[in-house]
């Protein structure tokens, strides 16, 4: 018991230490601390749990909000707190080290650093504890996926999308497979190299996760990894590979779409009884008291006094029979304002309390259908793409029969993107969906940002590298448009 407590203390010390230093200015974990933490397999398991908690931390804060705040999905609540206004108004700058720019960069790299420490410790543990190979393989499979997610999230936020250049040779982010030594010059890899590492990690994880399969939604499982592959391949424009990955997840029927009556519970409970569980992987806040902070995703998007509400453009996507509108949004009457506002209920049922756990969805089965629909569209398989969209829309309209009609491919493409936004709004996709499909950002009527239109391509669609990172590491280059 004392040994476990000591290791937990080491994890806490590491977490506090990381939060106080810039990524490239810090020393790696002290030798004694690392040896104590990874002295046995249980220590690696504890460290993996810490990696999940680090990832939850950045998903529940600025990174988790960024893709919706910097999109056409939200308006700023006129009487709400100031949350990520620079990103809402597209005036981010490299000096925002103690705000969203610095927090997103540092928190993802901290999470990446933690999971790399786990992965780098496993070969030695496998040699020392050959009788625990099964557990070591479980840890490795999950850790590889977490590393892939970290690289993917960092690249989406600080680099232009994969198809920005014809060969994805434009600057991406560092590819880090271990903690860099102090003073090491870390450069940005081309986006293609970053994605190659993401694909490599996900593919390496698959046999391990398949052998040691778990349906626990709060840890990475085999189908979550395959589903994430479908997303990554979609971003890369690899339609055949996206379809193949999506086909496997859908056809195996281990997870299935929630029914219309179960839909709200997808966001409010860890599991839904029976086979209708559609969450492939979420980051669980169970057992972690909610902080009453405007910088948490549930406060910013859900609370009656939160920072952001659904935009008119988003609300108008839903018809009155769509259960997502009635179950996933709530009307707030804002004091002193002569209109009703709508905020999402996807986090803790729209409540903000230390007693209301919430679950940040990383990937759901509905997204896999949507990934497949878009990939089929790109291949010209229009009826098949329309059928995938019909399945998602039908679930949301239980009282009527849905059919997807279109006169041109362009109409079908818009139907696909509208359905994707209806299903995945406030789940961290919208800005990235706009940029990877090379669409302009048009916020529409009622926009209350200083920027209501951004045309693609645009330097402002990605964040700048934080200034302290550039100062500490001369190998790092700034994004265009943020040099001055």
Is 205 a residue whose pLDDT tops 90? yes
CA triple 423-425-427, angle to 5 deg: 105
> Does residue 304 fall inside a structural domain?
no
Q: Residue 168: in which H helix or E strand, if any?
A: none
Q: Is residue 296 part of a domain?
A: no
Give mean pLDDT, residues 188-204: 98
Q: Between 359 and 259, whose confidence is greater?
A: 259
Could you tell me the residue range of the domain that residue 141 belongs to? 1-69+87-212+460-484
In-domain check, residue 271: no
What does the alpha-carbon distance between residue 399 and residue 391 come to, in Å, rounded to a whole number? 14
What's the pLDDT at 183?
Answer: 82
Residue 6 in this model has a pLDDT that exceeds 90: no
Token pair, residue 183, equals: 């003073």
Candidate from 279-288, 450-459, 470-479 with smallest mean pLDDT: 279-288
* Coil vs helix vs strand at 342: strand
Identify the pLDDT of residue 32.
42
pLDDT digits (tens, 9 = 90+) for 122-176: 999 999 999 999 999 999 999 999 999 999 999 999 999 999 999 999 999 999 9
pLDDT, mean of residues 439-448: 96
How much of the chain, in percent, has pLDDT values that exceed 70?
A: 87
Q: How many domains does the chain have?
A: 1
| Residue carrying structure tokens 């056809």 | 251
Half-sphere exposure of 120 (CA within 13 A, CB side): 16
Q: Which tokens belong to 404?
A: 């997807």
| Structure-token pair, residue 253 | 């029927």
Confidence band of 289 (pLDDT split at 50, 70, 90): low
Q: Is the bond preceding residue 457 a cis peptide, omega within 30 degrees?
A: yes
Most confident range, picked from 16-20, 240-244, 479-483:
240-244
What is the model's pLDDT at position 223?
97
Choose among 197, 185, 200: nearest CA to 154: 197
Q: Which residues lie closer than 8 Å to 91 by C-beta, 6 or more apart? A: 450
DSSP-derived secondary structure for 91-145: ---TT-TTSHHHHHHHHHHHHHHHHHHHHHHHHHHHHH-GGGHHHHHHHHHHHHH
**What is the distance between the alpha carbons of residues 313 and 199, in angstroms, rounded to a whole number?**
35
198 inside domain: yes
Strand residue runs (E) in 33-86: 74-76
Tokens of 80: 């709400």
Domain membership of residue 11 (yes or no) is yes
| Residue 338 falls inside a structural domain | no
Predicted confidence (pLDDT) at residue 284 exceeds the cutoff of 50: yes
Q: What is the mean pLDDT of residues 446-471?
A: 97
Mind listing the pLDDT tens digit for each residue in 40-69? Answer: 999 999 999 999 999 999 999 999 999 999
Q: What is the percentage of the chain residues whose pLDDT exceeds 90?
A: 76
CA distance 78 to 199: 43
CA 407 to chain centre: 34
Residue 300 lies inside a defined structural domain of this protein = no
Does residue 146 belong to any structural domain of this protein?
Answer: yes
Residues whose CB falls within 8 Å of the CB of residue 191, separated by 6 or more in sequence, listed in order: 155, 159, 160, 161, 162, 164, 165, 168, 169, 170, 171, 172
Pairing of strands 329-333, 340-344: antiparallel
Write out the two tokens for 167.
């060969």
Is the pLDDT assigned to residue 117 strictly greater than 50? yes
Preceding peptide of 403 cis, ω within 30°:
no
Instruction: Name, in order, each residue with C-beta under 8 angstroms of 205's C-beta and a sequence gap of 6 or more.
Output: 140, 141, 142, 144, 145, 148, 220, 225
CA distance 61 to 157: 14
The reported pLDDT for the residue numbered 443 is 97
Query: What's the N-to-C CA distance of the chain in angstroms?
Result: 54
Q: If you average pLDDT over residues 338-344, what whole number do you get? A: 69
Q: How confident is the model at residue 1 (pLDDT cuts 50, 70, 90)?
A: very low
The reported pLDDT for the residue numbered 273 is 56
DSSP string, 259-286: PTTTTTHHHHSS--SSS---EEEEEE-T
Residue 426 and residue 439 in contact, taking contact as beta carbons nearer than 8 Å: no
Q: What is the CATH number of the domain that holds 472?
A: 1.25.40.390
Containing 341, the helix (H) or strand (E) segment is: strand 340-344
Identify the bridge partners of residue 344 per DSSP, sorted by sequence position: 329
**What's the whole-number mean pLDDT along residues 446-474?**
96
Can you tell me the distance from the alpha carbon of 421 to that of 224, in angstroms, rounded to the nearest whole number? 21
């Amino acid at each position: 018991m004392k040994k476990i407590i000591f290791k937990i203390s080491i994890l806490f010390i590491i977490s506090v230490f990381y939060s106080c230093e810039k990524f490239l200015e810090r020393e790696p974990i002290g030798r004694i601390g690392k040896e104590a933490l990874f002295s046995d397999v249980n220590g690696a398991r504890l460290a993996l749990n810490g990696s999940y908690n680090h990832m939850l931390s950045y998903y529940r804060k600025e990174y988790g909000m960024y893709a919706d705040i910097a999109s056409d999905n939200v308006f700023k609540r006129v009487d709400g707190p100031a949350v990520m206004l620079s990103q809402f108004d597209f005036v981010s700058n490299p000096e925002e080290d103690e705000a969203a720019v610095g927090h997103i960069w540092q928190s993802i790299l901290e999470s990446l650093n933690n999971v790399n420490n786990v992965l780098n410790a496993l070969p030695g543990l496998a040699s020392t504890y050959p009788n625990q190979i099964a557990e070591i393989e479980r840890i490795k499979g999950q850790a590889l996926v977490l590393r892939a997610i970290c690289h993917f999230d960092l690249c989406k936020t600080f680099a232009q999308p994969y198809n920005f250049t014809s060969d994805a040779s434009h600057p991406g982010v560092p590819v880090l497979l271990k903690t860099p030594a102090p003073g090491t010059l870390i450069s940005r890899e081309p986006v293609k190299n970053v994605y190659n590492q993401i694909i490599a990690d996900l593919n390496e994880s698959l046999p391990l996760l398949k052998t040691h399969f778990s349906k626990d939604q709060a840890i990475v499982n085999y189908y979550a990894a395959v589903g994430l592959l479908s997303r990554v391949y979609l971003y890369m424009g690899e339609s055949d590979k996206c379809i193949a990955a999506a086909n496997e997840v859908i056809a195996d029927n281990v997870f299935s779409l929630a029914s219309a009556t179960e839909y709200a519970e997808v966001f409010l409970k860890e599991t839904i009884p029976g086979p209708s569980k559609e969450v492939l992987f979420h980051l669980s806040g169970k057992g972690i008291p909610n902080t009453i902070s405007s910088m948490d995703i549930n406060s910013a998007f859900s609370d009656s006094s939160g920072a952001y509400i659904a935009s008119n453009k988003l609300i108008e996507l839903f018809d009155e029979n769509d259960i997502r509108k009635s179950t996933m949004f709530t009307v707030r009457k804002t004091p002193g304002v002569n209109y009703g506002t709508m905020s999402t209920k996807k986090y803790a049922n729209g409540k903000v309390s230390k007693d209301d756990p919430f679950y940040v969805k990383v990937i759901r089965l509905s997204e896999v259908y949507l990934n497949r629909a878009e990939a089929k569209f790109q291949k010209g398989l229009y009826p098949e793409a329309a059928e995938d969209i019909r399945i998602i829309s039908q679930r949301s309209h239980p009282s009527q029969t849905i059919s997807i009609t279109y006169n041109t491919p362009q109409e079908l493409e818009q139907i696909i993107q509208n359905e994707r936004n209806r299903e995945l709004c406030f789940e961290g996709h919208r800005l990235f969906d706009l940029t990877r499909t090379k669409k302009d950002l048009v916020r529409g009527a009622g926009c209350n940002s200083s920027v209501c239109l951004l045309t693609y391509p645009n330097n402002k669609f990605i964040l700048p590298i934080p200034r302290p990172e550039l100062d500490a590491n001369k190998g790092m280059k700034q994004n265009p448009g943020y040099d001055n």
